[in-house]
Chains A and B, each alone.
Chain A
Amino acid sequence: MHKLFASTYKEFLLLKRDFGSVVILFVMPLVLIITITLIQDSTFKTIENTQIPILVVDNDKGEVAKTMLEGLKSSEAFEIVTKDTETEAKELVFGGDYQLAVIIPEHLTVDLHQKVNNNVDNLLQNFGIDSEEKALEQPEVTSKEVRLYFDPATQVSFKNSVKNGIDKMISKIEMKTIYTSFQKQLSDNPDDVVFKTDNFVTFKEILPKKDNQEEYMPNSAQHNVPAWSLFAIFFIIVPLSINIVKEKSQGTFVRLRTNPVSYATVLGGKTVVYLAVCLIQFALMLAVGVFVFPKIGLPTLDVSGRLPLLFVVSIFAGLAAIGLGVLIGTIAKTQEQSAPFGATFVVILAAIGGVWVPVFIMPKFMQVLSNISPMNWGLNAYYDVFLRNGSLSDILPELLLLLLFFAATTILSIFYNEKKHAV
C-alpha cells in the first residue's frame, strides 16, 4: 500500500510539473465542448428559427401550385423566391447561391383534376352510378413531375427531409382533389360535406418524465455534454501512454524493474492520478454546461438529481480509458508510436461508439461493431442517466462492461510486460 501511495504521489508530481499538459488536459475539453455545442445548437436553431431561401418556378399558375406555395410558406422553414425559368433557377442552385429549387410543371392543376375526374368516373361507372361526363370521351393525361434541384453541397439529411415534405404535400393535394371530385359527383349541393378531410390519425410525442412527473425535454446541451465528455475522458489515453513510454525511454522503468515492486503497483499509481484527472475534467465540463452555457446563449445543462450517477458512469468510463492507455503505453516503444495511434484510436472508438453519428443510422455491420466499443457503453450509460431518467440498475450492464474492459486491458498489459521481461 505504501508503494502504491508513493507511486501515486510521484505521478501527481510528474503531472503537476508539466504545466502545459495540465492546461491541455483541462482546458482543451472545455474548448471542445463549447465549440461543438455552439455549432450544433446554431445548426438546430437555423433549422428551427431561420428561413432558408429557396427558388420556386411556377409553370402551373393554378390552384395546385398555389396550395404548394402556401404549404412551403406555412412550414416557416423556407423563404420563397420565385423565378421565371427552370434554367435560371438551375444555374443559381448549382452555382451554390441557393440550396433548393422547386419546379412546378405546366398544367399541373388542370391535368391533376382531369386525372382524378377520370378515375372517379371510371369508379362510379363500375358501381353502376351514372356520371355526368360519362358521354364524353376521357382525354389522356400524362403523369407530372415536380423537379427539385439541390446544391451539390447540401447534406443528404436535408435533401431527404425536403423530398419527404414535398411528397407529403403533393399526396395531400391529390387526396383533396379526389375527395372534391367525389363530392361533385355525389352531391348537387357544393356546400354538402360528404367527406370529412381532417386527419383521422395524428401523432403525439410522449416525453420521459422526471421523478416529480414533470415532462423532460432534452436539449442540445443534454445531448452534447455526455458525448463529448466521454470523448475527452478517452483522450486521457494519449498523455497516459506517453507517460509510460517516457518512463521506458528515460531509464526509470529499467530501474523500477530492478526494484522489488510489481508492474501492477506502478500502474496503480498512474490509474489513481489519471482517474482523478478524468473526474476533474468531467466536473469542469458539467460546470461549463451549467454555468457558462446560459451566459453564451446555449441551453443550460440540467444535472438536477443526476450528479451521483453521472460521476459513477465517469469513474467507470475513466477506468476503461485508463486501461486502454496503459495497454498502448506498455506495447508502444516510442512516443511517435503511442501518441498518433492513441489519438487516432480514440477517434475511431468515438465514431463506432456513436459519439458523432447515432448508432441506429449506421450500417448493420457497424452497429454490431459499435456493441464492442467501450465508448458506446459509456455513452449509453450517460444517455440513460441524462436523457432516459435511468437509475443505477439501468446502467449496471454498461458499468460492468466498462469495468471488465479495464480489468482485461490492465491484465493484458501486466501479462505482456511480464512475458517481455520474464527472468
Chain B
Amino acid sequence: MIVIDKISKKYLGAENYSVSNLSLSINDQEIFGLLGPNGAGKTTLISMLCALVKPTSGSFTINDLNYKQHKTEIKKLIGIVPQEYALYPTLTAFENLKYFGSMYGLKGKALNEKILSHLEILGLEKFANKKISTFSGGMKRRVNLLASILHNPKVLILDEPTVGVDVQSKNVIISFLKELNANGTTIIYTSHHLNEAEQFCTKVAIIDHGQIIVEGKPKDLINKAEDLHNLEDVFISLTGKELRDYA
C-alpha cells in the first residue's frame, strides 16, 4: 500500500508549488490513474515516489517503508517506466535489458530466460539482438517497459507509457500491464489518454495546480452528474477548457 501524507514540492526559483499538501492512499493491486492537464503536478508527484525529486515537505510510505529511511529498499520494490526512452541506443534490446536487470542483482541463466520470455510476450523476440536505435517508437516503448519489470516490482509507476505508439503497440502494452496487475503488481499510471484510463484504471485521481480535485472509480465519477458521459467530460468539467501551456 502507498500512503502519501501532505506532500509538497516547490522547485528552486519557482513561484508556486508544483505539488501542494497532497495526501493520497493507493491500495495494493490497484491500477491507479493520475490524470491532469499539463503542469498539474503529475510528473512531480511520481518523481517524488521514484526518489528522483526531493519533497519540500510531507512524506510517503510504500509497503510501510518510509522513503527517508528505506530509500534502497523502496527502489527494489518499485519499477519506473519513464516517459522518455531511457535506453542505450547503441546496445541491443537484450543487452539493455540484461544491464538494467543486473542493476537489481539479477544474473545468469535466470535473467537471460526472463528477458527472452518477456520479449516474446511483447512481440520482440525477433529483435532481441537488434540495436535500440533501429527500433520504432512502439518497439522502444515496449523495451522501455520491460527494463522496469524484470525484477518483479510490487509497485510499477508509469509516466505516459503509451504516448506516441500505434494502436497495436498500445494494446500489447495495456494487456501486458493488466497481466502484471493480475499477478499482484500495483500500477500507478499517468496519461493524457482519458479513454484508455477509463478502460484501464480501477481508480483515478484528477490533479490540478498540485492538488487532487477528485478521486474515485472512473464509473463513479462519470455517474456523479447526468451530463457526464465519460472520463473526458469529468476532466473538462473539473479542469476547464483553457489551454494549459507553460514553460
Which residues of A pack against B, CB within 8 Å? 2-3, 6-7, 9-10, 13-14, 17-18, 250-252, 254-261, 421-423
Contact = CB atoms under 8 A, between A and B. Distances in A.
B100 A250 contact: no
14 contacts: A2-B102, A3-B102, A6-B107, A17-B91, A250-B84, A250-B89, A251-B84, A251-B85, A254-B84, A256-B103, A257-B51, A258-B52, A258-B78, A259-B104
Chain A CB within 10 Å — which of B48, B76, B84, B103 has the most? B103
A423 B107 contact: no
B164 to A, nearest CB: 14
A252 B87 contact: yes
Interface string B81-116: 010111111110001001110111101000000000
Contact of B54 (A9, A250, A423): A423
A130 B104 CA distance: 107
B52 A257 contact: yes
A6 B51 contact: no
Nearest to B74: A260
How large, as a class, is the contact surface on chain B? 20 to 34
B71 interface: yes
A10 B95 contact: yes
B100 A255 contact: yes
Contact of A254 (B48, B82, B131): B82
Interface in B134-162: 147-148
Interface string B47-78: 01011111000000000000100011001101
A421 B29 CA distance: 30
Nearest to B92: A13
A18 B89 CA distance: 11
B76 A260 contact: yes
A255 B99 contact: no
Contacts of B67: 423
Contacts of B107: 2, 6
Contacts of A260: 72, 75-76, 103-105
Given A2-B107, A14-B91, A259 B86 contact: no
B7 interface: no
A251 B147 CA distance: 13
A256 B86 CA distance: 9
A250 B131 CA distance: 15
Given A7-B99, A250-B87, A255-B80, 5 more contacts: A6-B103, A10-B95, A17-B131, A260-B104, A423-B54
Nearest to B106: A2
Contact of B102 (A6, A250, A258, A422): A6
A250 B96 CA distance: 13
A6 B99 contact: yes
A79 to B, nearest CB: 60
A247 B48 CA distance: 21
B99 to A, nearest CB: 5
Contacts of A2: 102, 105, 107
Given A260-B104, A422-B54, A254 B99 contact: no
Contacts of B85: 250-251
Contact of A3 (B78, B91, B95, B103): B103
Contact of A259 (B54, B75, B87, B98): B75
A421 B88 CA distance: 22
Contact of B100 (A17, A18, A257, A259): A259
Given A3-B102, A423-B51, A258 B80 contact: yes
Nearest to A4: B102
A416 to B, nearest CB: 15
Contact of B90 (A7, A18, A251, A422): A18
B86 A251 contact: yes
Contacts of A7: 99
